[in-house]
Amino acid sequence: MHSANDVLAHILNLLEKQITKVTIDTWFSDATAVALKQDCFIIRTTSPFKKQVIDSRYGDMVRAILQELFSADMGFMVLVGDELDSLDSLEEDEVPSDKDEEYYTFEDFVVGSSNRFAHAAALAVATNPAQTYNPLFIYGGSGLGKTHLIKAIAHTMRRDRPDFRVIYIKGDDFINELIKDLSNQKMEEFHNKYRMADLLLLDDIQFIAGKEQTQIEFFHTFNALYDANKQIVITSDRPPKELYSLHSRLQTRFEWGLLADIQPPDYETRIAIIKKKAERSNIEIPDNLIQYIANNVTANIRQLEGIVLRTKACRELLQEEITMDTINQAIRDILKENPGMKPTASIIISEVCKYYGVAPDLIKSSNRRKDVLLPRQVASYIMRQLTDLSLPEIGKELGGQHYSTIINSIDRITEKMKTDPLLENVVKDLISNISET
C-alpha cells in the first residue's frame, strides 16, 4: 500500500524525466503530501503563486504519473498554506493497485450515438472472440473511451472464460519490453508470451508507428495469433491509414477486420455520463448543474469525469454545498489544465531521441555525425512548430546552438520533407505523439 508521502516522492522522481531538477526544486521543494484518497491525491504548498504554477504547468504531468501508478484516473489537488488544516488527520483510503478491472466494465460504459458502434463491436468480440471481427480496431480522440472499452473486453473475458490467456499492453510498453528483451537476449520468452495469448489487446498502437523493430515484431505476433484464430483488439488515436509511418502491410492487416471509431459525445450522452460518474462517486449533483456542465464541457469524457471528482473533493474536503460556483471553479480548473497544453522542449527532445535511438546528451552536443545531426534538426523543427520558444531559446535547449544554426536546421527539414515522404511521415507522427502526451 502506498502512503501519500511515498507517492509524492515517487512523483517528483518521475518528473525528473520530464523537467530539470532545478525546476522541480523551485516549485515543489516546500510541497508536502496531505492525503491519498481513493480518487484524489492532495498536496499542500506555501504560496498561491506556487499553487497556480503547479496546477497549470505540472498538473497534467502529475495526473499522468498518478494514472500510471494506480491505473486509474485520479484527481490531483493543491492546497495553499493552512487551507484545510484539519485534513492532515484525514484518514487515507485504501488504494487498490488496479482499479481498472472493477471500474472499466461494459456496465459502466454509457452508450450513445457517438460510441454505439464501437461499443457493439467490443461487446461482440468479448462474447464471441475470434469469430466475428478480427482484428477489431477502435480509434478516436483522447479521453473518449478507447481504453475503457478495451479493458471492458478484458474484464468480461476474465470473468466468463477464466482459462483464456488475456494480454493487455500499451503501445509504448510493448516497445519498452521489446527493447529490454532484445538487449537481454530474451526474445524467445518475448515471442512465447505474446504468441500464447488467446486475446491480445494493444492499447494506443500509434506509439509503435515508425519504430522499425517493434513493428516487425508486432507483425509476426499478429500473423501468428491471427493464423491460430486468436482475437486481437487494437486501439489508436487515428485510423490506420493516418498512421503515416506504419508499415502498409500492417495497415492492410488492420483493414481485414473491423474499424470502429468513437466520436465526441453528444449532449444527451454527456448528461448520462455525468450522472453515471456522480452516482459512481456517491455524490449528488442537481440537474440544472449537470446540464450546465454538459453545456460547457463538450470535447472529452475524461474532463467530465475530472469535474465530478473535483466537485466531490470540494463537497467532502471543504464541506461545501454544491453550487454554481463550485461547478464553475471545477470547470475552470479542468479546462485550464489542458487548454491545448504546449509540450515542453525536453519532452520534444526526449521523443525525438527515443525515435532515432540517440542519447539526449549527444543531440545537445556539437557532434555533427549524420545520425546525430538529423535528429537535432528534426527536434529544432518540431520545437518551432509546437512551442512558443524563440530561435535563440531553441538553440539553448539544444546545448547552446547559435540561432542561425537553428534557422538552417528548420530550413533543411522543411526542404527535405518536400522530397522525402518517409521523413515527412516520421515528423508528422512525432508531432502527433508529442501533442498527445
Q: Site mask, Mg ion, residues 142-161, x = CB under 5 A?
A: ----xx--------------
Nearer to ligand ADP, 274 or 372 (CB): 274
Residue 226 interacts with which of Mg ion, ligand ADP, none, CB < 5 to 8 Å by class:
none
Asked whether position 301 contacts ligand ADP by CB under 6 A, the answer is yes
Residues in 93-122 that interact with ligand ADP by CB under 6 A: 104, 108-110, 115
Residues in 124-153 that interact with ligand ADP by CB under 6 A: 142-148
Asked whether position 302 contacts ligand ADP by CB under 6 A, the answer is yes
Cβ 304 to Mg ion shortest distance, Å: 15
Cβ 143 to Mg ion shortest distance, Å: 8
Nearer to ligand ADP, 162 or 339 (CB): 339
Residues in 54-93 that interact with ligand ADP by CB under 6 A: 73
Residues 325, 348: Cα–Cα separation, whole Å: 38
Identify the bridge partners of residue 42 per DSSP, sorted by sequence position. 35, 77
DSSP-derived secondary structure letter, 56:
I
Cβ 140 to ligand ADP shortest distance, Å: 6
Cβ 110 to ligand ADP shortest distance, Å: 4
Residues 169, 147: Cα–Cα separation, whole Å: 11
Question: Distances in Å between the alpha carbon of 68 and those of 54, 72, 217, 292?
Answer: 19, 8, 25, 31
287 contacts: CB under 8 Å, gap ≥ 6: none
Cβ 148 to ligand ADP shortest distance, Å: 3
Phi, psi of 370 (to 5 degrees): -60, -40
Beta strands in 198-347 (DSSP E): 199-203, 231-236, 258-262
Residue 145 interacts with which of Mg ion, ligand ADP, none, CB < 5 to 8 Å by class:
ligand ADP
Residues 284, 290: Cα–Cα separation, whole Å: 10
Distance of CA 186 to the CA centre of its chain: 28
User: Which H or E run contains 126?
Assistant: helix 116-127
Asked whether position 238 contacts ligand ADP by CB under 6 A, the answer is no
DSSP-derived secondary structure letter, 5:
H
The answer to whether residues 73 and 102 touch, using CB atoms and an 8 Å cutoff, is: no
Which residues contribute to the site for Mg ion (CB under 5 A)? 146-147
Which residues contribute to the site for ligand ADP (CB under 6 A)? 73, 104, 108-110, 115, 142-148, 273, 276, 301-302, 305
